Structure 1
Amino acid sequence: MPDSACYKNRELSWLQFNERVLDEAGNKKVPLAERLTFAHIYQTNLDEFYMVRVGTLVMQSESEEDERDSKTHMTSKEQIESILKETKRLEKKKYAIYTELLAMLKECNIEIVNFKLVTEEETAALEEYFDEHIAPFLSPMLLSKQQPVPFLTNQQLYSAVLLSNKKGKAKIGIVPCSGVFKRLIELPTRPGVFVLAEELILHFVAKLFPKYTVRGKSIMRITRNADIEVGDVYDEELDFRNIMEHLIKQRIKMAPVRLELSREIDQEAQKELAKYFGIKNSHIVKVDTPLDLGFFSDIRTKLRAMPTLFYKKRTPRPSSMLDMRKSIIAQIEKKDILLSYPYESIKPFIKLLNEAAEDENVVSIKITLYRVADKSEIVDALVDAAENGKEVVVVIELRARFDEENNIEMSKRLEDAGCTILYGLEEYKVHSKLCLITRSINDSVSFITQIGTGNYNEKTSALYTDLSLITADKQIGLDADKVFKALLIEETPEKTTSLLVAPKTLQKSILKNIDAQIALAKEGKDAYCAFKLNSLTSVPIMEKLIEASRSGVKIDMLIRGICCLIPGIKGYTENITVVSVVGRFLEHSRIYAFGRENPNVYISSADFMTRNMTKRVEVAAPVYSEVLKQKIMHIFETCFNDDEKGKQLHPDGMYYSREINKKPLNSQEKLYDEAYKA
């Protein structure tokens, strides 16, 4: 059997991950209000997937080059066909779950109804509401050869109406269904019973086209390609921030890659819609649920009086390793600190920055920012430091997809405060999570270095699982200084001593560490690797993992999302086990461990993906403290043994639930319990 049989297509693997998200929406053990959230996350995940990944494949399929998936050798066209087929299957599953959720909401005295379940009296009241509160804000349009095709905004709701005039000539009407009016419209006769605004508009849409007969109608939503790169809008007369602002404007006008309909309409009308909006007929998808599940957040608000319908309230705990009443810098100089989010609070790191902003011995603060919170205390601390005369260097990545606008605004604020701003590198995105505080005491230099797996974002630190290492180790500080010095002259470091830095040294070091375990296995010794990642797609690393498995190295992997390597295949990957945990918090930390006894342990910003290894600046940091190593491996083992939210990837390429503990283990709840007890 060739090695290629060990691989799975990246896009289809991602759809499997999103199905695991959908499974949580259908999980009866999850509180009802949280199930609503998972359903909405599933939809928004899928929207972004179509905007980015399918958008890329569509452009590839239209080019003259025969681009294929490097692992399964599927063409772009074959991948699109498989994605559309799988999407239609998942829509059926989503509809079954949505129906179940509506039934459960009804038991909580909340109903979403259509006009089949509305009385004549209620219909008359809704018509009056439509006339007074919605119709004045609507702008109905006709598709016509005489007029330009109306621009439909990405992911907005529209009514598509099939019309005939008195002469029998067919027309298509378009009505925007989003506006100043509210989405959930309560029936005046039945409190807690709601009609969606788009359904109300669709029901009375004939009133907007009085000279026509309505032959058919549907709610419609377009998803546009968002895969646009800086080079596509490059203008040598603009600075990089202006280019990114231009890119954001260009993105909203890009070609559609999917058109969703809430009702069946005849094939001729579908073809006409596809022609008008420049989309293939095969990319029209029938959806039986509402096309936008964003209204679930409004329903969650209405359920707040019933706390049992939500997860048990948890708040990030103070770290037991630190005393917040004392200097953070002084404590870190004595020992390395590891913060584990969301179980432990990000506040010690924020206090560290605030302390550095005021410390007369601090000369500079350098940091890489990828995604920051809207109202960021971290940015506030950097501004304070700059205004206090510290040198503050901020590498802010303006190409962080869908966060460009926020990052542009943050860069302006930081620049106004006197910070030195870098926008990343032309060839590489700066994705590392690295902060370096440099101090000078009696002409002697010292460093406080923070390396993380997740963004400097207070909001996501309470929602994502991430690790943050803070150390006064001199060599790590010198390496971090090398990274920033290289970035300042638009380069990447060629060589470092302690830190592993992509694109030059990270992948080589990972392969070298795996080779060391292969050598142990060939000597008949215990050989082991453990990895916690978001995704695995890198062919060189997967080839090395296959080699390690065939040599007898035991490999345990926690991979939340995409996994292109199929484990358990005899003679190839039989020594590899892959588990995915999808639960209350988004698993986001990256851990690399090599060896069973006294392992070499790293935390990192990088997944094992081609882009992370070769197209981004990433940093992995060694963990030297035995106490912190034990803490990290405890986190790994707890998640790996999760049999409530963890599913195992089998040799058939499918994920299955498992029962390995006497009492089902929910790793996230266990780790939070431990944080509360610490």
Structure 2
Amino acid sequence: MSASRKYINRDLSWIEFNRRVLEEAEDPTTPLLERLHFLSIVTSNLDEFVSVRVAGLKDQLKAGYNKPDFTGYTPQGLTKRLAKRIVRMVRDQYKTYRELMRALAKEGVVFVKWPDLNDGQKEELAAYFHQIVYPVLTPMAVDSSRPFPLLHSKELYLAVVLRPDLTDVKQEDRTYCAIVQVPSILPRTVPVPGRKGTRKQSFILLEDLIKEQIGQLFSGYATEAVHAFRVTRNSDLALNEEGAEDLLAEIEKELRRRRRGFPVRLEIEKGMHEDARELLMEELQLSDPIDDIHEIDGPLDLSFLSRFAGSLPNADHLRYPRYEPKYPLEFEESDDMLSAVRERDVLVYHPYESFEAVNDFISEAAADPDVLAIKMTLYRVNAHSVLVQALTKAAESGKQVTVVVELKARFDEERNIAWARQLEKAGCHVVYGLVGLKTHAKITLVVRRENGVLRRYVHVGTGNYNESTARLYTDAGLFTCRPDIGEDASALFNEMTGYSTPHNWRSFAVAPSGLKPKLFELIDREIAFAREGKPARIVAKVNSLSNQSMIDKLYEASAAGVRIELIVRGVCCLRPGVPGLSENIRVISIVDRFLEHSRILAVANGGNEEVYISSADWMTRNLSRRVELMCPVYDPGLKKMLINLLELILRDNVKARELKAGGGYERVAAKEGEPPLRSQFAAANLWLWKKAAAAEET
């Protein structure tokens, strides 16, 4: 096998992942409004991929770089292949969209066009346009005196082709072009007043309403054509952290520059007027009509479907049954969370268990007069964060509060800047991480005075401190006051905020210097056990696996006889099941109701199993360009619970897809006589396992 054929290309693997998301929208067993939600996610995912990954490839092409990567693809060859696969995916996405619109219509929910409306409906919608929409619109003419406007990335626009009213003899008989932005501040879907005697819920898209009334913006001109379009720009930040005296100011400057990033993709409505198309191509400097321009047969930007599906009234029968996270049993039975953690380690698994436990942990610490200090990392925080409010109160009450805010969290930069300023204003010590590294570790340290000595309480998580995503993502969080973990936590914060030399970690493995060597050490140990005929197995759950040396180490373990089972939600560059290379490796992916986000590692260790939770995926950026954290789970009961969870996921035969040696995925089918097992639904009983374990212990 050639060296490059040993690996699957990262970007092509990502396309396969988004294809699995699309399959959930195509799946008739998925509730109808949930299918719309998945269809929306396909668009959001693709937007980010194009604005970062495809943009990066085009950057390389502009710079004349055309060397193959470790999977054998040159930027030019990969760009061509991605373009074909994206076109195919979008075509299938809109085919599914039309199918879902037909299914919605059977449920009494319809999207209508202007000619479908009666006079009364047209009159009411025209009034809505005049009162709400018209005042927000700004027509932007394009001519010699008015230059082409700046088009914001991923915003929806209308290209308007006009002809002058020829009663004015001074006007030439030619077309003129103007651009109107569809205001994103207004709802994309506009309810249509109902017809008498029908219970149908009708909606019209905002852009369709504007199209019908567009002539009111251009008096003296006749509208020849109106078509929607959308530009995707390069959205990656190019920071010079070494030369930036003020990182916050540097990022704000780059965010302004992002708005002017070079165009990567132009999406246009099918049948766009040739004059408008030529103008956009010329002004946006798009030369390749195949790779750069995507003609869409349907509404542009289907990401609106998620909000629509979530807000549709009287439609719970078209959604998954509502799931209410359970408050963790260990804390429910205690009035004092810190005393519960003193008794034993506590593991919380979201979204089955409530993120309120994390909020309460920080809030209690903030209000406790014996707590002297709180230190925390923040990567992505929700809009109305209880945690930020608790940290603010703690600082205002005189506690030492240190927050490491990652300003470079992609597409959350502006929100994080706002949080940083609010925390600084309250008196918190705000640190923006280390130069050249993103701080991606998820950790909180609480220092409390107890009987004349200090005790450290630690929370380590696999996901962000974000209560909104904690209801949608699967993540693990460990609460502990073990002294070795507490010492490591203090040392980690000292490294992130000061000039400490690398610590001799007692429990943690920390990237960029120590995590990869620790993983290799664990894999090497399994190789040694396999050669001795002892139990040797690795089960790892990550979001992505793309680091070449990590893949090579897993190939080495497979060749030595180590049984390896990987649960990789997204990108996987490892090629499993290849004789002589990876025949002992199995890879599955779960795409289901919740986003699989937890990172868990279990190793057999010759029969004395070890389990770790981590913030890091097995990608080059996580292992070498970020501050990441891997923490052992010592409590035997908690280890067993996480191992049971991994085994449960590995037995999924409803939503699991298995990666084949050729790079494609196939659904895992139940064997004859085997009952269907959907791991996310089964894992929802996690809190019952805890209750049973607690009763057994008693």
Against the structure 1 CA distance between its residues 637 and 536, is the aligned structure 2 distance closer, same or farther, given a 3 Å change threshold? Answer: same
- How far residue 674 of structure 1 moved from its aligned partner, in angstroms, is 3.8
Deviates more, 1:451-460 or 1:212-221: 212-221
> Is the contact between residue 138 and residue 181 of structure 2 (CA under 8 Å) also seen in structure 1?
yes
Q: How many Å separate the matches in 2 of 1:43 and 1:245?
A: 27
Is residue 633 of structure 1 aligned with residue 640 of structure 2? no
> Is the contact between residue 644 and residue 665 of structure 1 (CA under 8 Å) also seen in structure 2?
yes
| 1:481-500 deviations in Å (ceiling 9; x for gaps) | 11111112256735312100
Q: 1:520 maps to what in 2? A: 529
Q: 1:155 maps to what in 2? A: 154
Q: 1:140 maps to what in 2? A: 139
Secondary structure of the residue that 2:331 maps to in structure 1? coil
> Is the contact between residue 425 and residue 491 of structure 1 (CA under 8 Å) also seen in structure 2?
no
Query: Which residue identity is paired with 2:640?
Result: Q
Q: How many Å separate the matches in 1 of 2:188 and 2:669?
A: 43
- How far residue 205 of structure 1 moved from its aligned partner, in angstroms, is 4.0
Query: Which residue identity is paired with 1:100?
Result: E
> Is the contact between residue 161 and residue 273 of structure 2 (CA under 8 Å) also seen in structure 1?
no
Q: 2:182 maps to what in 1? A: 177
Equivalent of 1:672 in 669, 674, 684: 684
- How far residue 298 of structure 1 moved from its aligned partner, in angstroms, is 5.5
> Is the contact between residue 51 and residue 225 of structure 1 (CA under 8 Å) also seen in structure 2?
yes
- How far residue 151 of structure 1 moved from its aligned partner, in angstroms, is 1.2
Q: 1:240 maps to what in 2? A: 247
Against the structure 1 CA distance between its residues 538 and 489, is the aligned structure 2 distance closer, same or farther, given a 3 Å change threshold? Answer: same
Query: Which residue identity is paired with 1:513?
Result: L
Q: How many Å separate the matches in 2 of 1:135 and 1:350?
A: 43
5 Å-filtered alignment, 1:267-278, equals: 270-278=277-285
Against the structure 1 CA distance between its residues 650 and 322, is the aligned structure 2 distance closer, same or farther, given a 3 Å change threshold? Answer: same
Against the structure 1 CA distance between its residues 200 and 513, is the aligned structure 2 distance closer, same or farther, given a 3 Å change threshold? Answer: same
Q: How many Å separate the matches in 2 of 1:418 and 1:9?
A: 47
| 1:323-361 deviations in Å (ceiling 9; x for gaps) | 443322222122111111111112233222233223344
- How far residue 533 of structure 1 moved from its aligned partner, in angstroms, is 0.3
- How far residue 297 of structure 1 moved from its aligned partner, in angstroms, is 4.5
- Percent identity among equivalent residues? 37
Deviates more, 1:625-634 or 1:313-322: 313-322
| TM-score between both structures, scaled by the size of structure 2 | 0.91
> Is the contact between residue 229 and residue 267 of structure 2 (CA under 8 Å) also seen in structure 1?
yes
Against the structure 1 CA distance between its residues 352 and 134, is the aligned structure 2 distance closer, same or farther, given a 3 Å change threshold? Answer: closer
Q: How many Å separate the matches in 2 of 1:149 and 1:59?
A: 24
| 1:370-404 deviations in Å (ceiling 9; x for gaps) | 11122212122222222232211111111111112
- How far residue 545 of structure 1 moved from its aligned partner, in angstroms, is 0.8
Q: 1:353 maps to what in 2? A: 362
Secondary structure of the residue that 2:641 maps to in structure 1? helix
Query: Which residue identity is paired with 2:582?
Result: T
Secondary structure of the residue that 1:247 maps to in structure 2? helix
- How far residue 180 of structure 1 moved from its aligned partner, in angstroms, is 6.2
5 Å-filtered alignment, 1:558-573, equals: 558-573=567-582
5 Å-filtered alignment, 1:638-677, equals: 638-660=648-670, 662-675=674-687
Q: How many Å separate the matches in 2 of 1:642 and 1:657?
A: 10
Query: Which residue identity is paired with 1:278?
Result: Q
5 Å-filtered alignment, 1:373-392, equals: 373-392=382-401
| TM-score between both structures, scaled by the size of structure 1 | 0.93
Against the structure 1 CA distance between its residues 513 and 102, is the aligned structure 2 distance closer, same or farther, given a 3 Å change threshold? Answer: same
- How far residue 611 of structure 1 moved from its aligned partner, in angstroms, is 0.5
Is residue 445 of structure 1 aligned with residue 454 of structure 2? yes
Against the structure 1 CA distance between its residues 368 and 123, is the aligned structure 2 distance closer, same or farther, given a 3 Å change threshold? Answer: closer
Against the structure 1 CA distance between its residues 234 and 164, is the aligned structure 2 distance closer, same or farther, given a 3 Å change threshold? Answer: farther
Is residue 55 of structure 1 aligned with residue 55 of structure 2? yes
5 Å-filtered alignment, 1:246-261, equals: 246-261=253-268
- How far residue 261 of structure 1 moved from its aligned partner, in angstroms, is 0.8
Identify unmatched segments of 5+ residues in structure 2. Answer: 167-171, 692-698
Q: 2:695 maps to what in 1? A: none
Q: 1:600 maps to what in 2? A: 610
> Is the contact between residue 233 and residue 243 of structure 1 (CA under 8 Å) also seen in structure 2?
no
- How far residue 271 of structure 1 moved from its aligned partner, in angstroms, is 4.0
Secondary structure of the residue that 1:230 maps to in structure 2? coil
Secondary structure of the residue that 1:161 maps to in structure 2? strand
Secondary structure of the residue that 2:14 maps to in structure 1? helix
Q: 1:461 maps to what in 2? A: 470
Q: 1:610 maps to what in 2? A: 620
Deviates more, 1:340-349 or 1:648-657: 340-349
Is residue 332 of structure 1 aligned with residue 331 of structure 2? no
The RMSD of aligned alpha carbons is 2.5
Query: Which residue identity is paired with 2:653?
Result: D
> Is the contact between residue 533 and residue 608 of structure 1 (CA under 8 Å) also seen in structure 2?
yes
Query: Which residue identity is paired with 1:603?
Result: I
Secondary structure of the residue that 1:321 maps to in structure 2? helix
Q: 2:413 maps to what in 1? A: 404
Q: 2:7 maps to what in 1? A: 7
Q: 2:85 maps to what in 1? A: 86
Is residue 20 of structure 1 aligned with residue 13 of structure 2? no
- How far residue 248 of structure 1 moved from its aligned partner, in angstroms, is 2.1
Q: 2:65 maps to what in 1? A: 65
- How far residue 585 of structure 1 moved from its aligned partner, in angstroms, is 0.8
> Is the contact between residue 40 and residue 294 of structure 1 (CA under 8 Å) also seen in structure 2?
yes
- How far residue 321 of structure 1 moved from its aligned partner, in angstroms, is 3.0
Q: How many Å separate the matches in 1 of 2:306 and 2:567?
A: 30
Secondary structure of the residue that 2:53 maps to in structure 1? helix
Secondary structure of the residue that 1:562 maps to in structure 2? coil
Q: 2:106 maps to what in 1? A: 107
> Is the contact between residue 227 and residue 273 of structure 2 (CA under 8 Å) also seen in structure 1?
no
Q: How many Å separate the matches in 1 of 2:682 and 2:594?
A: 13
Query: Which residue identity is paired with 1:580?
Result: S
Q: 1:428 maps to what in 2? A: 437
- How far residue 650 of structure 1 moved from its aligned partner, in angstroms, is 0.9
| 1:158-194 deviations in Å (ceiling 9; x for gaps) | 1123455675544433222226655334444646222
- How far residue 115 of structure 1 moved from its aligned partner, in angstroms, is 4.7
Deviates more, 1:441-450 or 1:15-24: 441-450
Query: Which residue identity is paired with 2:271?
Result: E
Against the structure 1 CA distance between its residues 183 and 348, is the aligned structure 2 distance closer, same or farther, given a 3 Å change threshold? Answer: closer
Query: Which residue identity is paired with 2:80?
Result: E
Deviates more, 1:305-314 or 1:174-183: 174-183
Q: How many Å separate the matches in 1 of 2:570 and 2:447?
A: 37
Q: How many Å separate the matches in 2 of 1:180 and 1:587?
A: 31
Is residue 195 of structure 1 aligned with residue 207 of structure 2? no
Q: How many Å separate the matches in 2 of 1:374 and 1:201?
A: 31
Against the structure 1 CA distance between its residues 284 and 630, is the aligned structure 2 distance closer, same or farther, given a 3 Å change threshold? Answer: same
Aligned length: 675
> Is the contact between residue 362 and residue 438 of structure 1 (CA under 8 Å) also seen in structure 2?
yes
> Is the contact between residue 495 and residue 505 of structure 1 (CA under 8 Å) also seen in structure 2?
no
Query: Which residue identity is paired with 1:16?
Result: E
> Is the contact between residue 494 and residue 505 of structure 1 (CA under 8 Å) also seen in structure 2?
no
Against the structure 1 CA distance between its residues 434 and 279, is the aligned structure 2 distance closer, same or farther, given a 3 Å change threshold? Answer: same
> Is the contact between residue 523 and residue 553 of structure 2 (CA under 8 Å) also seen in structure 1?
yes
> Is the contact between residue 324 and residue 348 of structure 1 (CA under 8 Å) also seen in structure 2?
no
Q: How many Å separate the matches in 2 of 1:269 and 1:234?
A: 43
Against the structure 1 CA distance between its residues 512 and 33, is the aligned structure 2 distance closer, same or farther, given a 3 Å change threshold? Answer: same
Query: Which residue identity is paired with 1:641?
Result: R
Q: How many Å separate the matches in 1 of 2:488 and 2:130?
A: 67
> Is the contact between residue 655 and residue 668 of structure 2 (CA under 8 Å) also seen in structure 1?
no
Q: How many Å separate the matches in 1 of 2:492 and 2:357?
A: 24
Against the structure 1 CA distance between its residues 480 and 134, is the aligned structure 2 distance closer, same or farther, given a 3 Å change threshold? Answer: closer
